[in-house]
């Protein structure tokens, strides 16, 4: 789509601080981050909702996991959150938010002040982590139903109480 900001980054028409790229997906730093190293993962193909192309969306999630691992190893956050917000840009994307002790990236937080130089070195730092994980072609496994062996019944205990006796009489 010609007026889509993410398509423009994918096409290289506007610069993005890339941290990861494969055949179908691209990840780059959010230029208005709510925490240090916040990234956006997009499919290269333009579509709005994840269910318009489930296969590509699942590849974007795979890429988001790789990006999270790169962030974890380079910036060592406490935790990493993923989010999918449809409203912001109508091009499917997964946001990867690192959370630190003193900086929890809540949506109501104001974007942090960052300059181009900081973003450039941050992108370099995240990009340089080798995760060494590749998506394998999906193998659909047929799991057969396994019937559990019925355990041998334990001999019934009789307590001798009148209640137990009554239950046995009824059984
Ligand atoms: Zn787009």
Residue span of the structural domain in which 57 resides: 5-127
pLDDT of residue 161: 64
Residue 157 is assigned to a structural domain of this protein = no
Q: Is the pLDDT of residue 107 over 80?
A: no
Question: Helix, strand or coil for residue 123?
Answer: helix
Number of domains in the chain: 1
pLDDT of 9 strictly over 90: yes
> Would 143 be classed as within a structural domain?
no
Instruction: Give the C-alpha separation, 56 to 63, whole Å.
Output: 11
Average pLDDT, the chain: 85
Q: Give percent of the chain above pLDDT 90.
A: 57
| Spatial separation of the C-alpha atoms in residues 123 and 119, rounded to whole Å | 6
Distance 53 CA to ligand 1 centre (A): 14
Alpha-carbon Rg for the chain, nearest whole angstrom, is 26
Q: Can you give the CATH number for the domain in which 28 is found?
A: 3.30.428.10
Q: Do residues 64 and 92 touch, judged by C-beta distance below 8 A?
A: no
Tokens of residue 83, six digits: 């989010």
In this prediction, residue 35 carries a pLDDT of: 87
- The model's pTM: 0.75
Ligand 1 ion: residues within 5 Å (CB)? 1, 4, 6-7, 46, 91
Give the residue, 115 or 165, on which the prediction is more confident.
Answer: 115
| Structural domain includes residue 142 | no
Overall average pLDDT of the 109-137 stretch: 85
Which pLDDT does position 157 carry in this prediction?
58
Asked, for residue 48, whether it belongs to a domain, the answer is yes
For residue 10, how far is its CA from the centre of ligand 1 (angstroms)? Answer: 8
Are the C-beta atoms of 151 and 57 separated by less than 8 Å? no
Let me know the angle formed at the C-alpha of 130 by 49 and 61, rounded to the nearest 5 degrees: 15
Ligand 1 mean position to 79 CA, how many Å?
A: 29
């Amino acid at each position: 789509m010609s007026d889509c900001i993410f398509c423009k980054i994918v096409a290289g028409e506007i610069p993005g601080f890339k941290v990861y790229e494969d055949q179908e997906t691209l990840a780059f730093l959010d230029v208005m981050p709510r925490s240090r190293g916040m990234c956006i993962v997009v499919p290269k193909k333009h579509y709005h909702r994840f269910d318009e192309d489930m296969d590509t969306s699942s590849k974007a999630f795979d890429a988001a996991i790789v990006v999270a691992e790169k962030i974890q190893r380079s910036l060592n956050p406490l935790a990493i959150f993923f989010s999918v917000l449809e409203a912001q840009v109508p091009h499917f994307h997964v946001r990867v938010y690192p959370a630190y002790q003193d900086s929890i990236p809540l949506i109501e937080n104001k974007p942090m002040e960052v300059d181009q130089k900081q973003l450039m070195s941050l992108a370099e730092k995240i990009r340089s982590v080798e995760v060494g994980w590749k998506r394998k072609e999906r193998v659909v496994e047929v799991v057969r139903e396994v019937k559990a062996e019925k355990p041998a019944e334990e001999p019934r205990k009789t307590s001798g109480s009148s209640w137990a006796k009554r239950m046995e009489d009824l059984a």
